[in-house]
Structure 1
Amino acid sequence: MSTRTLISPAQLARPRGKVLYWTAFTVVTIVFTLVFIGPLYWMVTSGLKSPQEFAQTPPTLVPDAVHPQNYADAWGVMDLAQLLFNTLYYAFGALAFQLIFDVAAAYSLSKLRPVFGKAILGMMLLTLMIPATVLVVPQYLTVLDVPIVERNLINSPWAIWLPSVTNAFNIFLLKRFFDSIPRELLDAASIDGASSLRTLRSVVLPLSRPILGVVSIFAVVAVWKDFLWPMLTLPDPGKQTVNVGIYSLAASVSENWLLAALAIASLPTLIVFLIFQRNIMSGLTAGSLKG
């Protein structure tokens, strides 16, 4: 079968076609690179400028004098080590709960086939249509006085962990992957006497490493980049995440230190993406085709 493209191979073989194709390709690549890399470059270089150069109009594209000490000063003055530790603690706690409960929910919907399973999955997916800001008030009232147990979770890591557990998108991704696992493997494990839990642990999970990696990255990044919810539920400065902590101290430090702190806070997620970008793409497409 021939591949349908915007430019036919015959047109691309002509000199004019090659020039137009590579010109358009170069322009699009440069524009998208500037759009995505430009803000990062501006943030990093602004953290290297002096306060006078930062306030200069028009701004300088390249710093006249580099001040790497700004990053060290921002690290110490804004106590970024504590803020980063808090964020990692919340992120990996949320990851642990998501892997436990979301995997169990997806496995039940995919392989155990409960009564009204499709209706339950449909209602889960309907929650993706609700804007996150709409849920802020009811969630806050819930953590302020948790029903039944009557506990106040403000300034507690549970205020971050519990709302992150029910992630409909991650459950859907996991279910789609579990659907692609041949039923014969589970039947063979059942014939050998394995229970449903043992089958999940010994058969399903080892085969699900790609999608588990994707869900793990999504869970960590979701907590890392969140701002509004941690700001509402973690008013104690010693327990704040890096985003909320930087925002709280923004008015008391110079702008170049603030940009340096933002660059440091952005670095972990950028490194995670650059290292695991192939895993993210392969995990998202895994399970989309059966056979």
Structure 2
Amino acid sequence: MTEASARTIVSPAQLRTRRGRITYWSVFALALVGFTLAFLFPLYWAVTGAMKSPSELARVPPTLLPDEWHPESYAQAWDQMDLAGYFLNTLVVAGGAWAVQLAVQIPAAFALSKLRPVFGNAVLGLMLLTLMLPASALLVPTYLTVTDVPLVHVNLLNSPAAIWLPAAANAMNIYLLKRFFDQIPAELVEAARIDGASTVRVLVRIILPMSRPILAVVSIFTVVAAWKDFIWPLLVLPDPARQTLSVLLQRVAIDMPLNLLVAGMVLASVPMIALFVVAQRHILAGLAAGSLKG
């Protein structure tokens, strides 16, 4: 490979000089440290802020380290807010949203990609048009729908289904799945059909095993979105005993000591942070997957 075909911001000739190497690694180190601090400092501030007293947490200028450490704030927040019950509520909402969305979106993306129905492109275009609408514009019609579901006339308020069902129609996830399914060679599908495989068998035995990276991405996006959502659970779960963590933290914010409120926020964030740390490799692999090798 010639130098021209491997052109970068810093040329290989400059990197071979002592001054070039020092400049390159200095800039790289500064950028790495700067971005790391920008992402980790808010997390550090929340974790240590929960271990300060309420008066110290509200002090101006703020302290970088607590004058007195109060790690018991996390246990107090857990008990006083009954976080165990609300963690269970949120887990049910997020887990159900994940299951329902995959059950709807995978067949929809498979049909648009491999079955190619009549007007399939028009259907996909109409789905993508929904991404142009602000979420607030859909609140009222969606709320009216879940309070009186067409045909069956069931009221879904105070039921997790009020969150699961509207979330199933996620155009972005369907588009991501379809784009990935498009990369799977049609020859594999045709070979399976020649062997007598049904459409469902092709999906389960051929498509899904080869789509693990994008399935991981869609799953993570789905769980994170359901876990942190606030407006919609606030509307459709008016019973405090059925609400999620995000709604709880907003509801108790006025009466709860500031350090306990911050401790509750940190505890509510731990599962999603752990999920990202564990699954970040799958996120990058799924988003970067543009082709399949035979």
TM-score (normalised: structure 2): 0.95
Amino acid at match of 2:129: L
AA aligned to 2:25 is: W
Q: 1:126 aligns with which of 124, 129, 132?
A: 129
3-state SS of the aligned residue for 2:254?
helix
| Equivalent position of 1:249 in the other structure | 252
What residue identity is the alignment partner of 1:54?
A: L
Give the counterpart letter for 1:71 in structure 2: Y
The equivalent residue for 2:237 is 234
- In structure 2, the residue matched to 1:104 is 107
Aligned length: 290
Displacement over 4 Å in runs of 4+: none
- The TM-score normalised by the length of structure 1 is 0.96
Q: Is residue 219 of structure 2 the alignment partner of residue 216 of structure 1? A: yes
1:52 equivalent in structure 2: 55
Q: Match for residue 289 of structure 1?
A: 291
Query: Which residue number in structure 2 is paired with residue 194 of structure 1?
Result: 197
> Could you tell which deviates more after superposition, 262-271 or 127-136?
127-136
Aligned amino acid, residue 59 of structure 1: P
1:26 matched to which residue of 2?
Answer: 29
- Aligned-partner Cα distance in 2 for 1:171–1:36: 30
Matched to 2:92, the amino acid is: Y
1:156-167 equivalence runs, <5 A: 156-167=159-170
CA RMSD of aligned residues (A): 1.3
Give the 3-state SS of the residue equivalent to 1:67 in structure 2. coil
Measure, in 1, the Cα distance between the counterparts of 2:91 and 2:287. 24
Question: Helix, strand or coil for the counterpart of 2:75?
Answer: helix
Per-residue displacement from partner, 1:159-213 (whole Å, max 9, x unpaired)?
1001110111111111111111121221121112111111111221122222111
Residue of structure 2 equivalent to 1:61: 64
Q: 1:290 offset after TM fit, Å?
A: 5.5
Q: Does 2:83 correspond to 1:80? A: yes
Unpaired segments ≥5 residues, structure 2: none
- Spell out, residue by residue over 1:250-281, the C-alpha distance to the aligned partner (whole angstroms, 9 max, x if none): 11210000000000001100000001101011
Please name the residue that 2:20 is paired with.
17
Unmatched runs of 5 consecutive residues or more in structure 1: none
C-alpha deviation, 1:7, in angstroms: 1.0
* Aligned counterparts of 1:119 and 1:12: Cα–Cα separation in 2: 52
The Cα shift of 1:65 comes to 1.8
The 2-side partners of 1:103 and 1:255 are apart by 43
Q: Shift of residue 226 of structure 1?
A: 0.7
Of residues 178-187 and 72-81 in structure 1, the stretch that sits farther from structure 2 once superposed is: 178-187
C-alpha separation between the residues in 2 aligned to 1:182 and 1:259? 50
In the alignment, which residue of structure 1 is the partner of 2:276?
273
